Amino acid sequence: MELLRFQQACLAFGTNPILDHVDFSLFSGERVCLVGRNGAGKSSFLKLLTGQQNLDDGQIVVNTGVVLSRLEQDPPAKMDTKIADFIREGAGDLAEKLQQFYTLSENLDGAGDAEYRLFEQLQNEMDTRDGWSLEARVSDICQQFEMNPDASLATLSGGWLRKAALARALVAKPDILLLDEPTNHLDLAAIQWLEQFLLNFNGAIIFISHDRAFIRALATRIIDLDRGELTSHPGNYQEYLDRKQKMLEDEQKHNALFDKRLAEEEVWIRQGIKARRTRNEGRVRALKALRQERAARLEQQGKVDFNIEQASRSGKLVFEGKAISLAFNNKPVMDKLDLLVMRGDRIALVGPNGVGKSSLIKVLLDDYKVDSGEVKRGTNLEVAYFDQHRIALDLEATVQDNVADGKQEVQHNGQSRHVLSYLQDFLFPPARARTPVKALSGGEKNRLLLAKLFARPSNLLILDEPTNDLDVETLELLEDILQQYQGTVLLVSHDREFVNNTVTSSLLFAGNGRIIEIAGGYDDVTAYQARQAAKAAPVKTTAVQPAPTTEIAAAPLVHSSVNNAKKLSYKEKRELELLPQQIEQLDAELSALQLQVNDPEFFKRDAADSQQTLNLLQQTESKLALAYARWEQLEASGS
């Protein structure tokens, strides 16, 4: 069933078209991802649906009775509110009118005609909008989300605040849920919880996200907003990427042919009097039309083009920690951690929010003193620090002053460049470069911070959530730049695909001060946890065990029940006999692959070759985890 549609919708800011006679329909059960470059107008698209923005022309038709609700991106303005009251606000004026109905009902004796008419009106509205169940819905949602309704919002972490905001959006029982960058600032456990929740949501969803793994898991259709045009791509995200690439290639070929024809006609008209003969007036008119078409053609927005200015090489040793221990309020953050970071390592710090990832970085940089142990720092370190809160940016200063400190030139890769030319590599045209930073979008601020960092020499990059608000194309370019970077990288990010494509190893914060180093990225961390879960799975149990408490999702534990035990078939017995040999073989293959990856020369090889090895490592780890799990399951069933 169609829920809403855009009909010849037009919206522009100045000369910049956001929607140019766009048609679009949304149907029940769809999960539509809206993609496009930063500044293409994705947030404006959602504002049109919520009434915060009006069309210049055309119309938006929402079917009668369809309820829209939006997950707010910003944290609540008032943090001293109870969770239940905050959620109840999501129903709009329904709670207020319900209270008004109850107040009137207690004072109907002696009431006048106006009060009776208002009473009946409120009663009809409660029937229509299902207002009678509001308090039950608030209670049910609090129970479902495992939140204390009487607790204050001020007690919640960032991830729990996002859950509360989602609960607030859901209390109105929306038919359409609107989400703008829902995974920003969430840790992996919260992202995976959100994925699962939205997969089970009965209504339609329109969401904006640059988290490619999140898009792959959720989207049933991609709509691409590009230079005022909205293109629909049914199917999965990879199919969209393939079609989009083909469309851009076709557009470039068409434009090249057009430009060639225009150039030929310009040469012809300059031949003079022959071009002005009566018999050629049609050709002259055609040339004028070509010029007008060329002037009206909107060029594809330029691509970000940047590279990191690298300082002289640091020492081979970057950081060495011996038996480092640190605790806050008797809660261990690091417990006798031994750590070795060598030049060229690219390491992801993986774990839930608040577990101590930033604390480890501050310890390594000597901003925090350890309780015990020793930290040794290498020589000649030039640090570039990307802070997710963008403290390094002066919001009142202009874009160019933030990068060049008031000067007209920046030194980059040993050459002097005008700051406006340098900023164009980061998609800041001259007019935008003179804009105060406070007027920029989130994605633009992150691009500016990258421009500021990369203008200075470095051999140690520390990136704390660099991917928030960046469009996919910029993310992919940043991945390529980091892979070519000769220095050392420490990365904190919950973007699974970005981490998988960037790092050589991960530090898993497993809780209680335990930090485990694992070769590879998020997928390798998940495979490690699956193996650990399989090894720890009990042989026999009489009840299903609770899910693991770690906030990084592990593979489900394999349980068996005495009551459900059954005799193995011949095929299963044969499988059980062969599994130890298969596990041993996979373990040997995994060890050999890990030796290759740990070789300092590994990432100097051809990128395609090294990526093939990394993919094989990941596949082998997954196969080994599955083999362990199957072995435990068959052992339990046969005992």
pLDDT in tens, 378-415: 888 888 888 766 777 888 889 999 888 888 888 777 67
> 100-129 pLDDT, tens per residue?
777 777 766 666 777 777 777 778 777 777
Q: Where does 549-606 have alpha helices with state H? A: 570-598
Cα–Cα distance measured from residue 522 to residue 508, given in angstroms and rounded to the nearest whole number: 9
Assess whether pLDDT exceeds 50 at residue 563. no
pLDDT at 482: 82
Q: Is 158 annotated as a binding residue?
A: no
Q: Is 600 annotated as a binding residue?
A: no
The stretch 276-293 carries a mean pLDDT of 57
pTM for this model (two decimals): 0.61
- Percent of the chain past pLDDT 70, that is, above it, reads 80
**Contact call for residues 22 and 45 (beta carbons, < 8 A):** no
Mean pLDDT of the chain: 79
Long-range contacts of 88-92 (CB under 8 A, 24+ apart): 88/134, 88/138, 88/171, 89/168, 90/167, 90/168, 90/169, 90/170, 90/171, 90/172, 91/134, 91/171, 91/172, 92/172
Q: Is 36 annotated as a binding residue?
A: yes
The stretch 368-385 carries a mean pLDDT of 90
The stretch 277-286 carries a mean pLDDT of 56
Q: Is 41 annotated as a binding residue?
A: yes
Q: Is 51 annotated as a binding residue?
A: no
Residue 412 belongs to what H/E stretch?
strand 409-412
Q: Is 43 annotated as a binding residue?
A: yes
Q: Is 352 annotated as a binding residue?
A: yes
> 261-277 pLDDT, tens per residue?
777 766 666 655 444 44
Token pair for residue 6?
């855009």
Cα–Cα distance measured from residue 163 to residue 148, given in angstroms and rounded to the nearest whole number: 12
Most confident of 522-526, 568-572, 583-587: 522-526
Assess whether pLDDT exceeds 90 at residue 557. no
Token pair for residue 591?
């060890």
pLDDT at 440: 81
Which of 487, 546, 548, 495 lies closest to 522 in space, CA to CA?
A: 495
Q: Is 358 annotated as a binding residue?
A: yes
Residue 246 belongs to what H/E stretch?
helix 237-269
The stretch 17-46 carries a mean pLDDT of 89
Grouping H, G, I as helix, E, B as strand and the rest as coil, residue 114 is: helix
pLDDT at 607: 61
Buried b / exposed e over 375-395, threshold 16 CB at 10 Å, is bebbeebbbbbbbbebeebee
Q: Which domains does the chain have, with CATH numbers?
A: 68-239 (3.40.50.300), 245-271+282-299 (no CATH), 317-532 (3.40.50.300), 570-638 (1.10.287.380)
